A and B are shown apart, each in its own frame.
Chain A
């Protein structure tokens, strides 16, 4: 059974791409099939990480200019995982980014249908997990991804404007769409969650803050770790996927911890 998850956030820089990459890699490492879709058309990332310039981008798919299979590239052998990791890339070319920003509501209506068709195709291909790495805030592309996904993970940093914005977004968008939503707090100062008491106290504060938004469940907290940050000059860009080489890294461990919660209703 295919489960689709949209990784979303109110603000940028919350770690959506990093979490998406590592989650999909963890699934592929188990010998299963994951599909990672760069759904951030205003700031694509995956072409740089996988050093790919595919013939067709997800932009072409939502434009109706290529088929579902044209747009997916299996990178499993390149990164050395035993399952499959299918990646759909967004076009980083500035003209393509501008072009996507100009699209009308009529286009977005057709795009939503094409994303549904992509989801059906991935179900037929027995993909276990589909991850939409969305753009931050409220954009048409992220809304489309949220609508077709079974679950939504909302990432946020423990930062006042992010709390307020995430709360409003959860109430105004995710609740209205009646989605099973999970809150994942990233880059939490380590001293805030160092001891079990501190962690419990912080957890209670977060849960109280979001108590009004009944649909959301706190998925977990990931400590702020300098080692997750990159220099941009790694030997291989895929080295930033910590799940590949640093399986005991706290980020990877935290993601392993949250997987059972995401799997709670559906077995991947």
Chain B
């Protein structure tokens, strides 16, 4: 799975932090509509089942939430991507605990001023990008002819494609590497980044991969 958006909202539905990871803003939900709606669904579910809601599925869109005393952390995720359900739950816990540590006092005497939560969306972005594989990384190793000969055969075509185009998005690399599945291409790129032959950077909403 891949996280599209994250929201932190209070029990009354007011959104205090939101961040979209979806390049297509058309499909991102407006937090002022989405959070109150979800707060209502959450309290309805708790009344009906006497349990806290953890996961809801709407077609290809999945919603995961973790309930804290004063607020909920919620992410929407699409089925395409490498994250597993347990990893998403771990991300929610990490972000929720950090939010509690930073803003425990703000929450208790909150006067409605969102400025006190400014910057927390950046923390969410760092946590999610690190897990989702989009944090900025510089290549540490040389990617040349010798590298291509010695590299594991499953990684060669992608590295060669990247040397050829120098820099590109997953889709642009796929056109050259002839790897047909976006998920398989993403996994190979993650492996090449881990091995140090490939770097990764962001440009606007695009994630670009490159060699040194």
Contact = CB atoms under 8 A, between A and B. Distances in A.
B164 A109 contact: no
Contacts of B131: none
For this complex, into which size category does the number of interface residues on chain A fall?
Answer: 10 to 19
Contacts, number: 44
A112 B145 contact: yes
Contacts of B150: 176
Interface in A173-193: 173, 176-178
A147 B149 CA distance: 9
Contact of B146 (A143, A146, A148, A178): A143
A108 interface: yes
Q: Interface on chain A toward B: helix, strand, loop, or mixed SS?
A: helix
Interface string A108-124: 11001100100000000
A176 to B, nearest CB: 5
Contacts of B157: 178
Contact of B212 (A108, A109, A147, A148): A109
B142 A105 contact: yes
B143 A109 contact: yes
Interface in A130-144: 140, 143-144
A140 B149 CA distance: 12
B19 interface: no
B211 A109 contact: yes
What 8 A-B pairs come out closest when comparing CB atoms?
A143-B145, A109-B144, A116-B164, A176-B149, A105-B142, A108-B144, A109-B142, A144-B145
Given A109-B163, A172-B149, 18 more contacts: A105-B144, A106-B142, A108-B145, A109-B142, A109-B143, A112-B163, A116-B164, A143-B149, A144-B145, A147-B145, A147-B148, A173-B149, A176-B148, A176-B153, A177-B148, A177-B149, A177-B156, A178-B157
